[in-house]
Chain A
Amino acid sequence: MKRCYLGFDEEKCVGCYACYVICQDVHNVVCEENINSRRVIRQVSAHGYDKTVCPGCIHCGRCMEICPSQAVYREEDTGFILVDQKKCTGCKRCESACPVGAIRFGKSGEMEKCDGCIDRIREGKKPACAAICCTGAVYFEKKPQ
């Protein structure tokens, strides 16, 4: 069994938006518009200027801890935090608990979050955001448990 880690290094991020856009693309079969990215665009003050960065879910589990309906759970193989949308009541407590601000809500109010591209990982690929990143700011590691 492997534990996976999806990390983000703010220092290395240059705000190119590639991870943000590919996240929309991989979770979108057709080319719909207004598709949520599970990543975030944020301005940070670093090195004397406002830099744009695109952090994302690091699967810390805070949303799982706070969820009153057990809709959020830890997937066994990867250790990634996933949501069972059928159990989600839309109470939005997870939103305030998320340190990254990476929790979204779909059109019917159901919670949406990064699934670590678990289908891609099962195919032996990296999550799309880590695979596309040119600077190494978004990175993926597999660690033996």
Chain B
Amino acid sequence: MPGKVVKKVHCGICSSECPIDAFVEDGRIVSIEGKLCSKGAASRQYVYNKERILYPMKQTGEKGDGRFERISWKEAYEIIAKRLLKIRERQGAQTAVFYAGYPKWYRPALLRLSNAYGSPNFCTESSTCFQAAALAWRSIYGNQLCFPDLAHTNTLLIWSSNLYHSNTAMAGTFQGLKDRGVKIIAVDPRKTPTTEKADIHLRLFPGTDGALALSMAYVILTEDLYDRLFVEKYVYGFEEYKSYVCEFPPERVQKITGIDAELIRKAARLYAGNGPAGILFSPSPVVHNINGVQNYRAVHCLPALTGNYDVPGGNCPMAGEVSPCNEYGKVKRFNKVEAIGEKDFPVWFDLSCEEAQCTRLTDYIQQENPYPLKALVGFGFSHRMWPQPEKLQEALRKLDFFVNVDLFFSDSCRMADIILPAASSFEREEVCIRPGGAFSFSEKAIEPLGEAKNDIEIIMGMLKAMELKDEVLEQGYEAYMDYILKPSGLTLTELRQHPRGLKGKVCIPPRFRSYEKEGFSTPSGKAELVSQVLERYKGSHGCSGLPYYTDYRETVEIDRTKYPLILNTGSRKPQYFHTRTYRVPYLAALEDAVLIEMNPADIESYALKEGRVRL
């Protein structure tokens, strides 16, 4: 068709960055192509959404009124610089919080801005999510969470992930495993399209993951299925762990988890006996629980116990080729001043993810503890991520200055002094890191809508307006993209010519069993089944070095005979990702707004009927 051009874009709705071919005519996206989920399929309604913020705006009424007037970028930057510099001068840099929601791609740049300003309080949505899972792993192995080497695994233990709905594009990989005869164990309270394909489905009560993992360890230890050589040489705290695990025979754990004791045995034997075995973790469901980190630690102990750590087919740090690059995960947080969350969550900082901990942000604002918070620089800040969101929304009123950068006019934007329009992934360029030591380039398909800007250019604009120093950000966005690529030996010019991907010129080949030479980056230098970092805070914070199981049904003060059901509001729907796609009409219309899924047995016992609430 004449005048129609194809642009190679990456979807920016979730973090999978699926490739999309965008067909553009007269500056508008007329169609899209790709192997996508429903969210990606609705990209045009996401981009051309009525609720997009198109111009910088300032609040003209009281906070929360939602009365805004359009201003220029120049005026917006001037206001931001004036207010933030004044706060820094009067109350100190630490009183400003720099927060990153979704998407994740601009995070290193925002951390640089926070550092340049002098605040220790760079934090992200990961405070309530993925970083807790990563921390659980780091407490044992000392490194970044290791995903399974799917290409060589014989048994895959999928822990609480309905990947068909949360990462639909992974369907082909998963079906490939099935075709190859890989045995699948799925841990999930629900029956899903993923558990349907599993050889063993461990259907546990939500939140009892730790007990299940400890019971699997019980079977592995009592039936002598563990890797004795690995344990003797590379594991710390084995005897203490072993005696704790003895408290979790499958018959007892059947009562805790609701899973048949024989099925627990069968799963443990398969994971330990049909190796190499990998565990596919999900970022959030397990850690969204009061015993979340310890529950995940119990799960994360299994690779060490069975010798499935850093071996082909197991959970490995370097199962594929890697090409070095700058920025993501490389920028260190300014930590010379106490950050928010540091007193409450010392382990978070000792096992650092280079982020402050903002789960209790509402309290820190309201109680002015550890010090008053005066400013919030938010990128995609949504109060709905936090527990008791209305309380946080109210706390935002107390801030002297709040600027929020977002695609859509969210409810949190109503509390902002200034709102700035972000560009979608179709409206900007981006260097993306791909598996196997490759990089790809997301092309700009269309000009930004209204006066929207690329998040990193907004960060650079703020830096410049405040006359702050950062040698990388000062160079501008083109140079920034080149800087990301530099260690790989590639240039931006080369990558632009191959947007769908180029392998780095510098490539580190896959490595296995690197612990044999390098040990582990833990206090003991071994894989710590008893974490020495957690042990430090035993007396002060009640931490336990062991993957201690606490049953929320015993610790939460709820009359369980009166309220026997558990409501889980975090379940992933294929058409939604956090709060990001609710305002997309195609997606919002797919299901009734109020949808409750219940176990059919419960429906029957309460004599409920499908009606206004779909059962």
Contact = CB atoms under 8 A, between A and B. Distances in A.
User: How big is the A interface, by class?
Assistant: 20 to 34
Interface in B591-609: none
B178 to A, nearest CB: 11
Contact of A18 (B41, B44, B192): B41
A15 interface: yes
B450 interface: no
A48 interface: yes
B36 A134 contact: yes
B449 to A, nearest CB: 12
B169 A31 contact: no
B168 to A, nearest CB: 5
A26 B42 CA distance: 10
Contacts of B31: 25-26
Given A25-B586, A34-B589, A49-B196, 10 more contacts: A14-B165, A16-B168, A17-B37, A17-B590, A19-B41, A20-B38, A21-B575, A25-B31, A31-B45, A125-B33
A33 B585 CA distance: 6
A131 interface: yes
Query: By DSSP majority rule, is chain A's interface helix, strand, loop, or mixed?
Result: loop
**Which of A25, A48, A136 has the most chain B CB atoms closer than 10 A to its own CB?**
A25
Contact of B42 (A19, A25, A48, A133): A25
A132 interface: yes
A26 B164 CA distance: 23
Interface string A1-24: 000000000000011111111101
Contacts of B37: 16-18, 134
A89 interface: no
A74 interface: no
Interface of A: 14-22, 24-26, 29, 31, 33-35, 41, 46-49, 51, 125, 131-136
Nearest to B172: A134
What are the 6 tightest A-B residue pairs by CB atom distance, in nearest-first order? A49-B191, A14-B193, A17-B38, A21-B41, A14-B164, A134-B171
A23 to B, nearest CB: 9
Contacts of A29: 30
B175 interface: yes
Interface residues of B, number: 34
Nearest to B194: A14
A15 B194 CA distance: 11
A17 B575 contact: yes
A20 B32 CA distance: 14
A94 B589 CA distance: 25
A52 B587 CA distance: 15
Contact of A48 (B36, B44, B172, B191): B191
Contact of A21 (B30, B38, B165): B38
Interface of B: 30-38, 40-42, 44-45, 48, 164-165, 168-172, 175, 191-193, 196, 574-575, 585-587, 589-590
A132 B34 contact: yes
B35 A134 contact: yes
A135 B586 contact: no
A16 B574 contact: yes
A124 to B, nearest CB: 12
Contacts of B30: 29
Contacts of A35: 586
A132 B586 contact: no
B41 A25 contact: yes
19 contacts: A14-B574, A15-B165, A15-B574, A16-B164, A17-B37, A18-B36, A18-B38, A20-B590, A21-B38, A21-B586, A21-B587, A22-B36, A25-B41, A31-B48, A31-B585, A34-B585, A34-B589, A48-B191, A135-B164
A135 B33 contact: no
B45 A134 contact: no
Contacts of A135: 164, 171-172, 175
A134 B34 CA distance: 9
Contacts of B36: 18, 22, 132, 134
Given A26-B31, A132-B35, A132-B36, A17 B171 contact: no
B525 to A, nearest CB: 43
Nearest to A125: B33
Contacts of A136: 175
A27 to B, nearest CB: 11
A112 to B, nearest CB: 17
Contacts of B38: 16-18, 20-21
B171 A25 contact: no
Nearest to A132: B36
A33 B31 CA distance: 16
A47 to B, nearest CB: 5
A20 B575 CA distance: 11
A142 to B, nearest CB: 18
B585 A51 contact: no
